[in-house]
Amino acid sequence: MIKVVTLLTRKPGMTRQAFIDYYESQHRLIGEKYLGGYAVKYQRRYLRPIADDVEGATELPCDVLMEIWFPDRDTMDKAMALLATEDAQAEIVADEERVFDRALIRSFVVEEYESDMAAL
């Protein structure tokens, strides 16, 4: 399994709820359109501070941690090639400009290590 994680931040002036509503009702569908047949999971994790009374806790580094899981590197590469096509980029970028601060978008391939907590 190979995972891509992207940190996304909403456009300035957009409320958290409006951001979530738009992503889940509109932008998500574009992701599904291009990732279908490639990704085994497309997940959004919306961030919320643990406690409002902790200094700086309301200043989040991003609004959503988006994950795309692929069965292998070859499948991921094929999906990324599709996403990089002129038509896909035109559609994706136009919609991203409605909801994201595009200058802050950051993507990473994730290498995971897991502790066996049952053994402790």
pLDDT digits (tens, 9 = 90+) for 74-112: 999 999 999 999 999 999 999 999 999 999 999 999 988
Domain CATH for 8: 3.30.70.100
pTM exceeding the 0.85 threshold for the entire prediction = yes
Q: How many domains does the chain have?
A: 1
Residue 116 in domain: no
Place of tokens 């599709």: 82
What is the C-alpha to C-alpha distance for residues 28 and 50, in angstroms, rounded to an integer? 26
**Rounded distance, CA 23 to CA 8, Å?**
11
Percent of the chain topping pLDDT 70:
93
Residue 119 covered by a domain: no
The answer to whether residue 21 sits within a structural domain is: yes
